[in-house]
Amino acid sequence: MNPLLKEIRHNPLLWLLAFVPVLFAAQKLKPEAHTLLFVLSVMAVVPLAALLSHATESVAAKTGDTVGGLLNATLGNLTELVIALTALHAGQYMLVKASIAGAIVTNTLFMLGASFLLGGLKHRVQEYNRASARLQAGLLFLATVAILIPSAVTEADSVAGSAYTATLSVGLSVLLIAAYGLGLLFSLKTHREFFAGAEHAEAGEAPWPLGLALATLAGVTVLVALVSEVFVESVQHAAVAFGMTPAFVGFIVVALVGGAAEMASAFSAARKNRLDLSVGIALGSASQIALFVAPVLVLLSYVIGPAPMTLQFWPGAVVMMLIAAMTASLVTNSGRSAWFIGVLVLMVYLIFAMTLYLLPPKSASEGATPHKTTERAIQRAHDEGKFTSLDATAPERSLCCANFS
């Protein structure tokens, strides 16, 4: 524990860990103070993200940047998975899909672009393993194609009903999970020599012992999940107080806070000229959400959800995810980066953020299930053909009216 305590004493940012117990106490004493809980949850996530970043770098020093990036992406995505499972159980399918699409776009554009920018400002030109980046970008493009198909088929053929879309989504989910597993086998087992990170001469601090790093990762991940749960409960009410649209909150704010831990690791690695780790975290996290988290949520909706969820997203989200995947594939093709490349990628993200802030997307998937509706009634309506996707039948409605009220 000595390295951990020493790091907390010498890093002023980690002094903000005091906000973690304050947040939980405020949640118990004043659960209705949503704006206060929102601010405290953001303040609590920041030091937890920094601590998770240091622990991840220590693990990566022992296992290599490829495994370290995969581990960080997996632990970081636990937050998004917990948030999505909670919303899935409540029938808030629009919120689930907004968090999935937002996390994919944020990780691909904001995290990757900011890593290029921060690393390039310090090191002028940086190099990273092009094969690893192209593999992750290819997997991400595959996932966006699979997400595009249900929406495209439904738009082209109005006869295609919800039962067809649900069946297609299940089949696509199985294919995506299989592709993700084969991708791990390819990069970590059969062709691992092609994905080794580049050696960097810059020396860093002595890494923590592996046992302490893994224990810190586990403990901090649990705390991040708990803090994120409080954040999600308060963010919709706080959005009204701060004048933010619900679409902007679901797609941008929730994704940024949910991925804060991964971003801290990616940005720190980029500044230390370990861009392999940064790219692995950014693209690895995005492809993991698209290829594993989203399909798993579709399958779990048959178990814990009030009705089956599909991979049918509203058109705006599909376009943004597709552009994000193509952008990642384009900028990582050379295996080299400079700060202006990061600016270009961030500009694409800012275009999306401004669009969502000013003009929320239309409702384009299953809406939220009213709290008083029973599962039996939902299933009966579904069997009678009344429970259909809003993509083909619903009039234009804002995301605010769909599920964030």
CA distance linking residue 108 with residue 143, whole number of Å: 13
What's the pLDDT at 324?
Answer: 93
pLDDT at 121: 92
- 45 within 8 A of 256, measured Cβ to Cβ: no
* Calpha distance 319→105 (Å, rounded): 10
Q: Are 288 and 136 in contact (CB under 8 A)?
A: no
Residue 372: its pLDDT value, please?
38
3-state secondary structure of 272: coil
Give the gyration radius of the chain's Cα atoms: 21
* pLDDT of the residue at 59: 76
pLDDT (tens digit, 0 to 9) for every residue of the chain, 405 residues total? 677 777 777 777 788 888 999 999 998 998 888 889 888 988 888 788 778 777 777 777 776 656 666 766 666 666 667 777 877 887 778 778 888 899 899 999 999 999 999 999 998 898 888 888 888 888 899 989 988 888 887 765 555 567 788 889 999 999 999 998 898 888 877 877 776 655 444 445 567 787 888 888 888 878 877 887 787 778 778 777 877 776 677 788 878 877 777 788 889 889 988 888 888 889 888 988 899 889 999 999 999 888 888 888 888 888 999 999 999 999 988 888 899 999 999 999 999 998 888 865 444 444 434 333 333 343 444 444 433 333 333 333 344 334 433
pLDDT in tens, 127-161: 888 888 888 888 899 989 988 888 887 765 555 56
- Residues whose CB is less than 8 angstroms from the CB of residue 381 and which lie 6 or more positions away in sequence, other chains included: 387
Joined together, the tokens standing for residue 148 give: 């595009």
Quick check: 316 and 360 in contact, CB under 8 A?
no
Give pLDDT, residue 260: 77
Q: Concatenated DSSP letters for 109-120?
A: IIIHHHHHHHHH
- pTM attached to this predicted model: 0.75
What pLDDT does 298 receive? 92
